[in-house]
Amino acid sequence: MSLFRNVPELTLLILLSAACYFAIAIVEPIEASEFFSLGSILSVTLASFVLSVAIAIIAVIAGIGGGVIFTPIVLGFTSFDSLVVRATGLVVAMFSGLISGAPLLKQGLVDIRLVYICALPTIVGGLLGALMAFQFASTMGPSSDAVVRMLLGILLLGVAVLFITGGGRNDYPKASKLSGLARLFSLDMSYYEMSVNTEVKYSVKRLGLAIILFVGVGFIGGFFGLGGGWAMVPVLNLVMAVPLKAAVASSGVLLALGNAAAIWPYMLYGAMVPILVAPWMLGQVIGGIIGAHVLAQVKVVVVRRLMIFLLCLTSFKLIYRGLQDLNFMGGMIL
């Protein structure tokens, strides 16, 4: 309860959302169609909102974008057009990062230098990925959705393996002398680590390699509508030698900035359907605020295990559906 007292804007947003959906339920202006009754439209909207809150909380705690949970599940288990799903996925990936940035920057866990530098290649990659998604859809025609589902399934299996192995985590890399590009930008940093009551100093390494990797991460995030937070933490931690806690915190902020350009093609080419995106955006904002505040009290191991289960299940379903749509497995029912 103290969270709602300490963050009045969160309480206000929850109350406004509840009032809004209550008013919609009372007014009842929507006519039922052969597919949807008024009740089912409201149920879809409310379920999207609640699911989005849950995904945002998990995403902030696990240090990933929500897109990696949303996009595969919706692509795997519904028949929605893949570009529409990927557009909504980018919103899901972005908004929890946008809203959780302020508390993390105030705590000093995120260094704005890192965010501005790493965002540049991510934006370029993300924009290229988003434009390529439309090019791919127009070139491949109806089979593009099946190929996207299959590729995404394979990619997710790789992400699940990364989560299972833990990616060789490096909690507190040793600070060393700056060299190359990192020296040019004076990237020796520090943050206050509350758990050990000390200031942790670190120096960024291999910035050139990281920039190339961020272009790739951005491209995959923009193309599949995943965001890319799942790959940002390993790049920051393992390649750039940023301490794990700072890497997790930075990935969310970086994700929001890095996807800001990739979202425009989806929005301006009409792949973003407002009534579909609205409950997901609201849920991400509310869940993002809650996630940023309860981060310290939750066991991250539980979240990681849940993530691995979801990723494995979804990736198999995606690969199966991709193959089925390409008529490799016609007739079989999962």
Partner 1 sequence: MSQDSLRQSGIIYGVTIYWLTIAGCVMVLLGSLLALGFGWTVMPVNEQLSVLMQGNALTLSHRIDSGDMLIQLGLGVAIFAIVPAILIGVPRLWRSGFRLIALCGCANVLLIIGAFVVCYVRL
Site for partner 1 in 44-103 (CB under 8 A): 44-45, 78-81, 83-84, 91, 94-95, 98-99, 101-103
Residue 204 binding partner 1, by CB under 8 A: no
| 270 is an interface residue for partner 1 by CB under 8 A | yes
Burial class of residue 21, CB neighbours in 10 A (0-12, 13-18, 19+): middle
* Smaller CB separation from partner 1, 17 or 303: 17
Nearest residue (CB) to partner 1, 105 versus 157: 105
Cβ proximity to partner 1: between 277 and 311 the closer is 277
Among 59, 73, 92, 111, binds partner 1 (CB under 8 A): 111
Rounded to an integer, what distance in angstroms lies between the CA atom of residue 56 and that of residue 145?
Answer: 26
Name the residue type at position 274.
P
Q: Which is nearer to partner 1, 67 or 159 (CB)?
A: 67
Q: Interface with partner 1 includes 208 (CB under 8 A)?
A: no
Pick one of 55, 61, 110, 146: the residue that binds partner 1 (CB under 8 A).
Answer: 110
Q: How far is the CB of 167 from partner 1 (least distance, A)?
A: 26
Least CB distance to partner 1 at residue 185 (A)? 6
- Given a contact cutoff of 8 angstroms between Cβ atoms, the answer to whether 83 and 133 are in contact is yes
Among 1, 2, 5, 34, binds partner 1 (CB under 8 A): 34
138 belongs to the binding site for partner 1 (CB under 8 A)? no
Q: Report how far apart, in Å, the C-alpha atoms of 5 and of each of 19, 57, 66, 268 are.
A: 19, 19, 26, 39
